[in-house]
Amino acid sequence: MTDGAAAPATLCCGPYPIGRARIAAFAAALGDPHPAYTDPAAARALGHPDVIAPPTYLATLAGDAEDRLLAARPECPAPEGVVHRAQTLRHTRPAHAGDLLHATVRLAAATTLAGRPLLTLDCEFRDAHGDPVATTTSTLLCPATAPPGPHPLDTTGSEHP
């Protein structure tokens, strides 16, 4: 950060509108034919107000919120090279088409592993009424912040290992 301000540990993101077309495309990409992902009548028969998103759908939205927080933090100056080590999702209820979700992502823990920043991020999703929908927890291994120059294993002096 160039203005001298402290890096945020928490960031609010969104809104994220949940739409039928995106839910259907995500379910198709997963190869999951469950009718509650594409047919409002099937979802209503299960007690939902509209089609529901597959449980992992919110991981894509969490990734956006996490990237926004990481961009404001010095531990991961660029998303290239970040290794997504683990992720958990805890749902209070399914996300439905028509939801407008807001995310609050926060740095829950920071340590190092093999000289690289290891960050744990929690991302809480709430609907337009402020009611909880889900929380994701991601563990990310960031690239080492090495000084510019040849890679330490590069004996040729070139820029590529």
Per-residue pLDDT at 100: 98
Residue 125's SS3 state is strand
Per-residue pLDDT at 2: 45
| Residue 58 binned pLDDT confidence (cut-offs 50, 70, 90) | very high
Name the burial class of residue 97, with classes exposed (0-12), middle (13-18) and buried (19+) by CB atoms within 10 angstroms of its CB: buried
Sorted by sequence, the CB contacts under 8 Å of residue 132 that are 6+ apart come out as 92, 124, 125, 126
Question: Which two three-digit tokens encode residue 157?
Answer: 């002096």
Give the H or E element holding residue 42: helix 40-45
| Residue 63 binned pLDDT confidence (cut-offs 50, 70, 90) | very high
Residue 13 has pLDDT above 90, yes or no: yes
User: The pTM is what?
Assistant: 0.83
CA angle 92, 94, 100 (to 5 degrees): 100
Average pLDDT of the chain?
88
Give the tens place of pLDDT for each residue, 109-129.
Answer: 999 999 899 999 999 999 999
Q: What CATH class has 10-18+54-141? A: alpha beta
Contact 27, 54 (CB under 8 A): yes
Domain-by-domain residue ranges, the chain?
10-18+54-141
Any idea what DSSP says for residue 52?
B
**Residue position matching structure tokens 């991961």:** 76
